[in-house]
């Protein structure tokens, strides 16, 4: 069968290659974990999405091949259909729509309690990213433990399961951490960035009843603004309106969800947050980017204001379930809006070069391959 792979460490090495089709009895990642007897699921990949992580892997800034292999099959945002089941899998049936989590457990205490998303091991194992092959291929075999059912009426959004899990987890983490305050009723949120993560976060915060301002650079009208407004939020172009101007109008936000991929915005957000507020960082900023700010002022305001910084990455199956619940709730509340994020479908794995090229396009909200 075909797979899209890179040679980690070798820049722009993305290519299509032949790989053996996995069998139900195979161990997909024997160097990290074993599928227990009878618990394997074979999945036909239907759609796989790509994001900035895939671009950075192809630029050789990130990612490693599984041991004893030169190439890494990329792709970590999957949506597929079950084709075969081990004898001890009762939670799925053939034909079910599913997605799979990304990270596999290491050895830390967190991994042993099912929280590999917050592993304290320095080395982490992620399908399509680090040390485990990914999903940009025709079939995969996986432990049922890491397979999550996608409701049949949500199959048009199934490829957003992984990004939705990342957003749902980040917001959940902030709410959990804010229990430190005993009572917290956030009213106002700023979302920095209107890419797929920014837009999904906009939806999830609106579903929680917050007033949401989604900030990005380019003035509308355009699709990002339309989607933001369809979720009942306000789109703000920072080229047209200074953040300070917006703050004067709205007051300081209780939540800032940062998803721009720009290190300056991550730190600038510290200046805007309200008292007792939570700043959520989700950007993975590769490379090097110096920023400068008045550290004494930030420190003073943060200490006197009891402010909180929550960083969040990845998601385990409970976060996938949370993300899928939010996507369902979003469809009920804002029907037909979320699918507008799926801007750039590509026909077949052979379109991998076009896929990588589209990842450079800032207006491409979601690039994905129909396999």
| Least Cβ distance, residue 77 to Zn ion (angstroms) | 6
Tokens of 261: 């991929």
> Which among 65, 66, 68, 61 is positioned nearest to 11, based on CA atoms?
61
- Which of ligand BGC, Zn ion, none sits in contact with 181, Cβ below 5 to 8 A by type? none
Ranges within 18-57 binding Zn ion (CB under 5 A): 51, 53
Q: Considering the rule CB under 5 A, would residue 117 count as an interface residue with Zn ion?
A: no
Tokens standing for 336?
């037909």
Which entry of ligand BGC, Zn ion, none binds 129, CB below 5 to 8 A by partner kind? Answer: ligand BGC
Q: Which DSSP symbol is given to 176?
A: H
Which of 144, 167, 147, 166 has the alpha carbon at shortest distance from 100? Answer: 147
In the complex, least distance from residue 161 CB atom to ligand BGC, rounded to whole angstroms: 11
Q: Does residue number 111 form part of the binding site for Zn ion (CB under 5 A)?
A: no
Residue with tokens 């998601």: 315
Best CA proximity match to 276, nearest among 260, 252, 292, 246: 252
Q: Does 96 bind Zn ion (CB under 5 A)?
A: no
Among 301, 278, 286, 290, smallest CA distance to 201 is for 278
Q: Is 143 in the site for Zn ion (CB under 5 A)?
A: no
Residue 289 CB, nearest approach to ligand BGC (Å): 18
Side-chain half-sphere CA neighbours of 287 within 13 A = 11
CB of 52 to Zn ion, least distance (A): 7
Cβ distance to Zn ion smaller for residue 62 or 92: 62
Binding site for ligand BGC (CB under 6 A): 51, 53, 76, 102-103, 126, 129, 162, 166, 284, 313-314
The three-point CA angle 167-212-186 to 5° equals 80
State in angstroms the smallest separation of the CB of 118 from ligand BGC: 11
Of residues 80 and 86, the one with the C-beta less far from ligand BGC: 80
């Amino acid at each position: 069968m075909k797979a899209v792979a890179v040679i980690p460490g070798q820049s722009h090495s993305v290519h299509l290659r032949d790989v053996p089709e996995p069998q139900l009895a195979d161990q997909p990642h024997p160097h990290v974990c074993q599928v227990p007897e009878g618990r394997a699921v074979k999945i036909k990949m239907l759609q796989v999405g790509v994001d900035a992580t895939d671009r950075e892997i192809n630029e050789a800034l990130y990612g490693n091949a599984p041991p004893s292999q030169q190439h890494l099959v990329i792709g970590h945002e999957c949506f597929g259909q079950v084709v075969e089941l081990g004898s001890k899998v009762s939670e799925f049936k053939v034909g079910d729509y599913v997605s799979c989590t990304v990270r596999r457990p290491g050895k830390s205490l967190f991994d042993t309690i099912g929280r590999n998303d917050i592993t304290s091991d320095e080395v982490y194992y992620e399908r399509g990213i680090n040390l485990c092959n990914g999903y940009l291929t025709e079939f995969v075999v996986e432990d049922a433990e890491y397979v999550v059912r996608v409701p049949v009426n949500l199959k048009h959004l199934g490829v957003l399961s992984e990004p939705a899990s990342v957003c749902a987890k980040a917001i959940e983490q902030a709410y959990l951490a804010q229990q430190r305050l005993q009572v917290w009723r956030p009213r106002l949120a700023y979302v920095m960035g209107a890419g797929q993560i920014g837009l999904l976060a906009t939806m999830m915060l609106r579903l929680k009843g917050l007033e949401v301002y989604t900030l990005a650079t380019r003035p509308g009208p355009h699709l990002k603004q339309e989607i933001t407004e369809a979720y009942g939020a306000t789109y703000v172009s920072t080229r047209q309106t200074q953040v300070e101007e917006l703050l004067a109008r709205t007051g300081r936000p209780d939540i800032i969800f940062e998803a721009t991929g720009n290190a300056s915005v991550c730190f600038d957000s510290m200046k805007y947050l309200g008292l007792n507020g939570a700043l959520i960082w989700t950007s993975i900023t590769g490379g090097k980017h110096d920023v400068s700010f008045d550290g004494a002022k930030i420190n003073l305001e943060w200490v006197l204001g009891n402010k909180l910084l929550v960083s969040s990455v990845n998601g385990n199956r409970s976060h996938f379930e949370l993300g899928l619940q939010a996507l369902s709730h979003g469809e009920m509340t804002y029907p037909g809006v979320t699918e507008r994020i799926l801007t750039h479908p590509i026909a077949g794995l052979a379109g991998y070069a076009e896929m990588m090229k589209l990842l450079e396009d800032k207006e491409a909200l979601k690039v994905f391959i129909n396999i």
